[in-house]
Structures are given as structure tokens and as C-alpha cells.
Structure 1
Amino acid sequence: MIKWVAALSWLCRAAAYGDHGISLACMMAYEEGGVPAVLNSPDCPWLLSSLHSSNSSKNCQFATLQGRRDYQEDRLVCDLGLELPLFYHRGHGEGLPSIGVAAIFDGHGGREASEMASAMLSSYFLINAAFMAYNHEFNKTQCSLLRTQPVIDRHLFRSVLEEALLRTIQDIDSEFSKQALEKGYVSGSTAAVALLFEGQLLVANVGDSKALLCSKYGDSTEEVSVEELTRDHHPDREDEKTRIEAAGGFIVQYGVPRVNGILALSRAIGDVYLKRFGVTAEAEVTSWKAFTPENSYLVVASDGVFETLTPTDVCRLLHNKGSSSSLPERIIHRAFKTGSMDNLSAIVISHLVGRESTESQPL
């Protein structure tokens, strides 16, 4: 009986997915091996061609500077026009949900981890989100409705996007860790990733890159308020210290607190040789919140910016109308001029651009 029910479930899924070009073999590849299995499957080549990124730099301002370091380990992803494959909208005209992504990956110990993370983020996230959305809808409706229209409500879809982002960060860490062990990489990377969807914002964070919401409440450039959307993962943070020590690691002050006297972070992608001592790539994530005129700028930046600037300093720079530089250039140039010794990267998204670029037709 159990085998019969399982077989019927697979047949229902095959019929539902098949209506939208997903073969049973491709679906099974994802359920058994996740995104890497899909990308390597001969049954899923169409999926790669359906992935679309607008690379819309005009709608997503960013700047990066090597600074006083001998090499650049920061990487970023900035695209407000990601389109989720497999979806279409009967009765509303054809279209794809548009999702904005802004991410900073601040590498350390080499550029391999940040390079791989930035290269994988968009495709891994979109594939995870697409398959998870269909699986959620299948579990809700079973066979009866899936063949007619893949409808999913907005609240559930935001939950799918959050789940897909967290899975993606773990997938990236897992894939990089395999390569690191094979090739002897010792590098790691932070990950601060902001998602924008229909005027809503969510941030996932690993490490000490930051995401901020900047608001202005008066005529003076000094009258700004800041909401920090991330908390740094440093080894001396009490909950982080507890996890590290429970895993057999220890914290040593060497300039700053470091795991086993080495790593100044307690969470990171990579750093494979410290994973058994409690270093993890598990992201902390905010709840979805409105991106409104009251919190008019979203900033995502690497920690080099905050060596010499406070979050309030950063927000004040955005409201300085006397500067001709782009908003992210103002941030990284000021951080460099005030003495930052690190690589510098920043992304700035305004409320209006963020909302226009992430609005889509009803799901």
C-alpha cells in the first residue's frame, strides 16, 4: 500500500511538472541531489536556458575598491531583475515574477570562496526557489489543481524565497567545501544577501558584512536614522562563543577575538578546517518587512567600510546632495580616505528603484 501511494505521488508530480516542461527525471534529480544534480543532469538542460538575469546595473548602484590590500577578495552580486523559471500566469498575461538580489561576499584567506559564492548565487537561488515553489503547491493541492494553473499566494511565495535563500547558502558552502578539501583551499567568505520582492525586503547574513536601512527625518543631512538588518558573527558574541566552545574550539584575542587564534569570524562560507570547531555557514535571517519611503535606502557593504565609518556616517553620506559621486562611491571613497585598510564594496538601492524593479504581476 505504501509503495502504491508513493508511486501515485510520483505520477501526480510527473503530470504536474510535465505540464510546465519538467521531466520526472529532472524532478527526481533535484529531490535526490539538489541544484548540483539538476545542473549535471542530461534531463534538465532546458532549465539553464530559462534562467534569466538582467544584470541591470543602472537599477542597482554598486562600487568596489581594492584599497590598501595587495589583492581584491570582495565579490558582489547586484541584480534587481532576476526572473524565476517555470512560472507563467494564465489570465494575467504571460510573465515571470521578478526578484531583486543584492549581495556582498567578503573573502578572506584567498578569493576562491567569495568568487565561487558570487558565481553560484543567482542560478542556485532561482533553481531552488522554482522547485520549492512547485513542491509547496503540490503538497497543498495534490493532483487536482496543478494541471490547470501553478497558483501560489504571495505570503507562501515569500516563505519559499526565504527557504530557497537559506538552502542556497548551505549549498554554496557544501559545494565550495568539497573543492576546498580537494584543492587545499583555506579561504572563506562572508555572505550578506538582500532579497526584494514586490516592495518587501528580507536579509540573510553570514559573517560581518552589513545591511542597513537608512531614513531621513529632517532637512539637515545630520538628521538620519539607521536600522541595522544584520548582526556581526564575531567569536566573542556570547551565543557564538558558546557554540564554538561546545564544539571544542577556543577564542583567542589576537588583535581581535579569533576562533582557535585564526579566524575573526564565527560564521563563514568555507573555512573548512575550522568547521569541526563550530564555524558554520548557517545564515541568520530577518523577517520580511516593507521597503518604504520612510526607510528610503538599502545599503549592503563589506566590513572594510565600517573600519572607519559608523552606520550613521554611511547613511548621512547618502543624503549629502553636494557630492557628484554615485551613492556607493561616496561610501567607499570616504572609508578609504578616513583610513580603512581593507577591501571596500557597497551596494545602494533606493526605495523607488527597489520597488519598481521588483513589482510583478499577481502570482
Structure 2
Amino acid sequence: SKQGWSIFRRNLCIIYNETLHMQQALQNKQNRTARSSAASARTAEGAQSVSILLGKMLPKDLNSRTFYLREQRPAAADYVKAHLPEALRQQLQAYEREKKDSQLSYASILEQRILTVDRDMVERFSASHEEAGTTCLVALLSDRELTVANVGDSRGVLCDKDGNAVALSHDHKPYQLKERKRIKRAGGFISFNGSWRVQGILAMSRSLGDYPLKNLNVVIPDPDILTFDLDKLQPEFMILASDGLWDAFSNEEAVRFVRERLDEPHFGAKSIVLQSFYRGCPDNITVMVVKFRSSPVFSSNACI
């Protein structure tokens, strides 16, 4: 419908308040209702995608930057936006001041903050019966070390100096053996309804929020955290994206596609979002491309 397309177009954005100038492309595809109806229906139900880059520089005396990618329902987006970045930034600042005497690490700090935000979110949302949830993908760059924390099915992929795709995270899907066993031990089940779902509801096995499934302990907030030596990888760029992209592209395809378009204004983020849409992906598509240079680090973002 015209109203549905209007809502759908409002979800086309480039972070930093830029606009994806693709209205004509969408109008040309209005007659191809198989794709548009699925996307519009998802938006109308309130499960719209919100993508926010919260990667502000840490204090100037730190050579660190933090990039966040979240795919969620709006209530969860608002909560994570309000509570995770600043708390994480403050704890990282304290860690840098006391690093020599600290028992912590970047990985442990990321884990602590993510689990704390989830605990507070579940407590608050259960009181208000708000069932919203979100994925969370955080990449922390400090000097020549990259630490990536992931909860859910968003994914990070890095392109090394030879153009190879290096996975930065592991998807948390119910059909994975490790996750399936954990869910079963907790007394839960997975069932197939277009995709494998926990308790027949959620298509990922870990998330922030989603308190009804957290109370059953079948969905957990525990992040997987990986650390990478950038001196060894000599990366060109990394892609942080929601599952909407990975439904349409393999890791290798995405790296190859973006690598050929790094000279574009948004480092290929806009183009790969559009290409995913043209391939028929019915889900929301959120993409962040971070290009590595000696100094500084640049990023560009696009989403559907």
C-alpha cells in the first residue's frame, strides 16, 4: 500500500542523518509486491529496524574507538542506546587509568557491561510487560587490537590485506548444535516455522531483552568475544551487519562486493544494502563498513 511504502522508505537511512537517495528505485519496484509486502508488514507490526552508530571517540589520550551495531525493536533500541555506550565508555576510561593494577581486560569489560544492560533491561521490561529484544555487535579498536563482542545473529566480517574474509563473530542460531543442546538442557525446544525458532518464537538463541524467554533461561545474553591482532591481519575494512545482509550474501561475497566499491562515498555500504534488497531479502538490512587506515579510522553506514 502507499502508506506501507511510506513507512518502509522512512527506514532507509544513512547514519549521521544522511539520506539514502533511492526513492525512485523503490517506486520502480512497487509493482513487485512479493518483496515489498513482507518488508512493509514487518515495519507495520512495529518490528522496524533501527541502526545507530554510537562509535564516538574515547578521550583523546586513548587510541580507541568503539563501534556498535544493533538490530531490534524500538523499545530495546532506546534502552540500549541510553545505557550501554556511556557506561561502557566510563568503564573503559577507568580501565585505561588503572590498567597496570587492573585484573580486567577489554573482553571482560565488554562482557560485564553487556550482561549488566541485559539484566537491567529484563527487570524493567518484565515490570512493564514489554517484550522487545535486540541483537548487539560491538567492535572495540584499541591500538592494533580489535575486540569483538556479539549477542545474537548480527555478524562481523573483516577483509585482510589479501582480500580474504575473516569472520569476527559467530551467529547465535537455535539450530547450531551447541545452542540446541543448551536450550534442551534448560527445558526448552526449537521448532521450524520458516526458520528454526526457540520455543517457536525467536529466531536467535541469544539476545538482549526478550524477558519471557530469559525467564525460562532458554535465551541467554552471554556474548561471544573474540580478539584479533591487526598487525597480523593487516585489514582493509570490516563489515558489521544484521542478518538481513547475510541472508543474501556469504562472507566472501560481501567482502568481494564491498572491496570493489571502497572508493564510493559510503565505502560500498549503500550499494550492498541495495543489492541485498534487489536479491529479494524480506528482512531489514543494516550495514556498517569501517575502513582501516593508518589514521584515522573511517566508517559509513546504511540500513533498511
TM-score scaled to structure 1, two decimals? 0.65
Once the two structures are TM-superposed, the CA of residue 325 in structure 1 deviates from its matched residue by 5.0
Give the equivalent residue in structure 2 for 1:188.
133
**For 1:293 and 1:137, how far apart are their aligned partners in 2?**
27
Give the equivalent residue in structure 1 for 2:243.
303
Q: Secondary structure at the match of 1:263?
A: coil
Is the contact made by 2:55 and 2:65 (CA closer than 8 Å) also made in structure 1? yes
Q: Matched residues, percent identical?
A: 24
The alignment status of 1:245 with 2:184, answered yes or no, reads yes
User: Cα RMSD between the aligned structures?
Assistant: 2.9
**For 2:95 and 2:164, how far apart are their aligned partners in 1?**
37
Once the two structures are TM-superposed, the CA of residue 121 in structure 1 deviates from its matched residue by 2.4
Using a 3 Å threshold, how does the CA distance of structure 1 residues 351 and 133 change in structure 2: closer, same or farther? closer
| 1:52-75 deviation line (CA, Å, top 9, x unaligned) | xxxxx79xx998x9x824253333
Once the two structures are TM-superposed, the CA of residue 247 in structure 1 deviates from its matched residue by 0.9
Using a 3 Å threshold, how does the CA distance of structure 1 residues 81 and 279 change in structure 2: closer, same or farther? same
Q: Secondary structure at the match of 1:286?
A: strand
Give the unaligned 5+ runs of structure 2. 1-14, 23-35, 299-304
The alignment status of 1:105 with 2:70, answered yes or no, reads yes
Using a 3 Å threshold, how does the CA distance of structure 1 residues 238 and 261 change in structure 2: closer, same or farther? same
The alignment status of 1:124 with 2:100, answered yes or no, reads no
**For 2:96 and 2:144, how far apart are their aligned partners in 1?**
20
Give the equivalent residue in structure 2 for 1:320.
260
User: Which structure exhibits the higher relative contact order, with contacts defined as CA atoms closer than 8 Å and separated by 6 or more residues?
Assistant: 1
Once the two structures are TM-superposed, the CA of residue 290 in structure 1 deviates from its matched residue by 1.3
Q: Secondary structure at the match of 2:196?
A: strand
**For 1:291 and 1:338, how far apart are their aligned partners in 2?**
36
**For 1:112 and 1:188, how far apart are their aligned partners in 2?**
8
**For 2:252 and 2:228, how far apart are their aligned partners in 1?**
23
| 1:263-314 deviation line (CA, Å, top 9, x unaligned) | 1111000111111232111100002421667421111111111121222221
**For 2:85 and 2:280, how far apart are their aligned partners in 1?**
33
Question: After alignment, is 235-244 or 159-168 more displaced?
Answer: 159-168
**For 1:312 and 1:62, how far apart are their aligned partners in 2?**
28
Give the equivalent residue in structure 2 for 1:332.
273
Give the equivalent residue in structure 2 for 1:210.
155
Once the two structures are TM-superposed, the CA of residue 197 in structure 1 deviates from its matched residue by 0.8
Q: Which amino acid in structure 1 is aligned with residue 167 of structure 2? A: E
Alignment of 1:16-55 (within 5 A): none
Give the equivalent residue in structure 2 for 1:350.
291
Give the equivalent residue in structure 2 for 1:269.
208
Q: Which amino acid in structure 2 is aligned with residue 244 of structure 1? A: I
Is the contact made by 1:212 and 1:311 (CA closer than 8 Å) also made in structure 2? yes
Give the unaligned 5+ runs of structure 1. 1-56, 84-94, 140-155, 218-223, 359-363
Q: Which amino acid in structure 1 is aligned with residue 219 of structure 2? A: V
TM-score scaled to structure 2, two decimals? 0.76
Q: Which amino acid in structure 2 is aligned with residue 320 of structure 1? A: E
Give the equivalent residue in structure 2 for 1:164.
109
- Out of 209, 223, 227, which is 1:283 matched to? 223
Q: Secondary structure at the match of 2:200?
A: coil
Using a 3 Å threshold, how does the CA distance of structure 1 residues 292 and 333 change in structure 2: closer, same or farther? farther
Using a 3 Å threshold, how does the CA distance of structure 1 residues 317 and 292 change in structure 2: closer, same or farther? farther
**For 1:77 and 1:333, how far apart are their aligned partners in 2?**
19
| 1:35-89 deviation line (CA, Å, top 9, x unaligned) | xxxxxxxxxxxxxxxxxxxxxx79xx998x9x82425333332425122xxxxxx
**For 1:192 and 1:305, how far apart are their aligned partners in 2?**
14
Once the two structures are TM-superposed, the CA of residue 101 in structure 1 deviates from its matched residue by 1.1
**For 1:351 and 1:291, how far apart are their aligned partners in 2?**
12
Q: Which amino acid in structure 2 is aligned with residue 162 of structure 1? A: A
Is the contact made by 1:81 and 1:357 (CA closer than 8 Å) also made in structure 2? no
Is the contact made by 2:63 and 2:142 (CA closer than 8 Å) also made in structure 1? yes
Whichever structure has more helix as a proportion of its residues is 1
Give the equivalent residue in structure 2 for 1:37.
none
Once the two structures are TM-superposed, the CA of residue 216 in structure 1 deviates from its matched residue by 5.5
Give the equivalent residue in structure 2 for 1:76.
52
Once the two structures are TM-superposed, the CA of residue 136 in structure 1 deviates from its matched residue by 5.7
The alignment status of 1:233 with 2:196, answered yes or no, reads no
Once the two structures are TM-superposed, the CA of residue 341 in structure 1 deviates from its matched residue by 1.1
Which is higher, the Rg of structure 1 or of structure 2? 1
Using a 3 Å threshold, how does the CA distance of structure 1 residues 100 and 133 change in structure 2: closer, same or farther? closer
